[in-house]
Structure 1
Amino acid sequence: MTTATNTFEGGTNGTAVSTGNSGGASGTAFSYIDGPPKYSSLRAAHGNLSMLIDTVDGGIAGLAMSGSGTRWLRACVWSTSWSESFSLMYAEMTSGSYFSLELGLSSMALRHYNGTSTTDIATGTVAPATSQWIRVEMQCASDASGSAQARLFNSVDSTTASDSISGSRSQTSTTWTQASWRFTAEADTWFDDVGWSDTDWLGPATASASLPPRPMVTGLRQAVHRAAFI
């Protein structure tokens, strides 16, 4: 199992995010930065800091990926407007192909670039919420099937998707290079709790949301006491 995540909690407000300062308390250091994006304390989905990609500098932050198979990506995002449709989360492959998740005024969309052309392989029906934290997740495969899924959560810590879409597009079987988060739009956009996994959906970023409910055990007091430590 491999998981790479970044919470931005190890940064300093107003400082540019870099490959050198993005590890430590933040989690996995970014392997690629462009723009650059900045650490921001103005708002955060969890904790005290997030990553701001503004309309002046734009920005890209990438976490290295390798190997083949299925990958799952996540981001918590905040913006006042999704009125222009831009892809904000990418799963990139060595062939030059990629999957991306796009947010627009009325829905999300899954896009695929095969090295020659880009096409929408699935489009949702629910508008992404604005001026609040939301969560987006994407699943995609590097094999020839080119299958992908995406989920929108208009409540950032919910386990029930507001919308879910899937699609596919044939591609040359290849390997992964990078998961990246980026935005170039008419409104500043904040990112938090970004990451990828080769095992399963990452789900909500809060520790309490990811823990399973404690089992209820009936019987002797001693048995109940022991069950709490199972």
Structure 2
Amino acid sequence: MATLTNSFEGGTAGDTITTGNSGGSSGDAWTLTGDTAGGSCTYSATGPSHGSRCMAVTLGATGGAVRRGWSVNAADSTTSQWLRLYVDPGSVSGTTSPARGMNVGSGAQRWRLQVTAAGVVSLHNNTNGAVWSSTALSAGQQWRVEVMVGGTTSSTGRVWVYAGDATTPSQDSGDLSAVNFGGPTREIWYGQTNSAANIALRLDEVGWSDTAPLGPATSPTTSGALAASLPPLSVAAAGSARSSGATTVLLPGLSAALTGAARAPGAASVSLPAASVALVGGASSAGVLAAGLPAVSVWAVGSARAAGLVAADLLPMVAAIAGRSADTGPAKAQSASDVAGRRRSAAVVSAGHASRSEVTRG
């Protein structure tokens, strides 16, 4: 059981697609080629469905085929096979056959997919009779066409047409019963796969499988430095932070929320879910601590002395400080502290020409 795909991403725009340059980052290298004089099958930077490259096929007045393919199904199994391609009808000139199944040596057709410039997709059996046709697909839109084919003269086939990477088909043939596929498919071809003249088309993200339908292609991954565009970071602190020199500030727990999108150079876009970081404990920064702080309340109970003149007993004092602090010198805030030891009280009485001072030691 196998699956083969090619995205054309590893090629250089304008170069002919060959068996030698079609592997690597493009996917599975082609094992079969077939070109008519005057025709071309090249990598193109115009009109890819994903990434930056696709296959461009042209044929002039000289009729023939221009195609690339894989040898498949070495076991000659008659079970179902699936294929996929992306096409924009706006890139199509004439009546094209972008995919075709053949026997070994391409001596006999098993089936053929046809796409016209009007955007009509049709599946044909081994005698080239149409077994299903779509309604016209709009130009300027990438359409994903997926096909199931059998390997006998009376097998089930099916065609699904999706808008780009959608998971619900825009058109579905339903099971096509008793289709004459002539026998097992042994070669799968893409491009202009039968003889024709004056045609052009572009294809992308082609694939084949004998396992299951391929589904949507995935966008290529671009490696390199990550450049991120992020919303503001909010921080709420909790723990202890100390700035060199003096200030000690008790803070609530630290949390950071990060959400947004990051883009890698080239194309890939990455969406980041919300992330949170919790920091509890002590953080020390050398230098000056500048912090956006919530309201801070300080209570002082005891005695305060004014140097040189007056020492007075005070009632409890409440001071509120809120805003942004940047402390560089010695400073300490204490709450609910009791002052014990020496106590001085002084009173100054002045009446007329007389004055008296008294100092009491306890």
Q: TM-score range by the shorter chain?
A: 0.7 to 0.9
Alpha-carbon spacing, 1:171–1:134, altered in 2? closer, same or farther (3 Å):
closer
Letter in 2 for 1:206: T
Consecutive unaligned residues of structure 1, counting only runs of 5 or more, are 209-230
2:74 equivalent to 1:64: no
2:148 aligned residue: 139
How far off its partner does 1:93 sit? 2.7
Give distance in 1, aligned partners of 2:191 and 2:119: 20
Deviations 1:92-119 (A, max 9, x none): 2347231112123263211012xxx321
2:282 aligned residue: none
Alpha-carbon spacing, 1:51–1:205, altered in 2? closer, same or farther (3 Å):
same
Q: 1:195 is paired with a residue of what secondary structure? A: strand
2:191 aligned residue: 182
Determine which structure has the larger strand proportion and give its number. 2
2:123 aligned residue: 110
Give distance in 1, aligned partners of 2:9 and 2:119: 32
2:42–2:55 CA contact under 8 A, matched in 1: yes
- Aligned match of 2:133 in 123, 128, 133? 123
How far off its partner does 1:187 sit? 5.5
Q: 1:200 is paired with a residue of what secondary structure? A: coil
Alpha-carbon spacing, 1:83–1:55, altered in 2? closer, same or farther (3 Å):
closer
Q: 2:18 is paired with a residue of what secondary structure? A: coil
1:14 aligned residue: 14
Question: TM-score, length-normalised on structure 2?
Answer: 0.51
Letter in 1 for 2:19: T
How far off its partner does 1:90 sit? 1.2
- Aligned match of 1:193 in 194, 197, 205? 205
1:86–1:185 CA contact under 8 A, matched in 2: no
Give distance in 2, aligned partners of 1:37 and 1:77: 15
- Aligned match of 2:87 in 77, 82, 87? 77
1:5–1:28 CA contact under 8 A, matched in 2: yes
Alpha-carbon spacing, 1:43–1:109, altered in 2? closer, same or farther (3 Å):
closer
2:109 equivalent to 1:97: yes
- Aligned match of 1:149 in 135, 145, 158? 158
Deviations 1:179-223 (A, max 9, x none): 111235756311111010111111110269xxxxxxxxxxxxxxx
2:170 aligned residue: 162
Letter in 1 for 2:44: S
Consecutive unaligned residues of structure 2, counting only runs of 5 or more, are 221-362
2:215 equivalent to 1:203: yes
Give distance in 1, aligned partners of 2:95 and 2:3: 29
Alpha-carbon spacing, 1:43–1:171, altered in 2? closer, same or farther (3 Å):
closer
Question: TM-score, length-normalised on structure 1?
Answer: 0.78
Higher relative contact order (CA 8 A, sep 6+): 1
Which stretch shows the higher mean deviation, 197-206 or 144-153?
144-153
1:212 aligned residue: none
Letter in 1 for 2:114: E
Letter in 1 for 2:66: G
Give distance in 1, aligned partners of 2:8 and 2:93: 27
Q: 1:152 is paired with a residue of what secondary structure? A: strand
1:60–1:181 CA contact under 8 A, matched in 2: yes
2:8–2:26 CA contact under 8 A, matched in 1: yes
Task: Give the share of equivalent positions with the same residue, in percent.
Answer: 29
Letter in 2 for 1:44: P
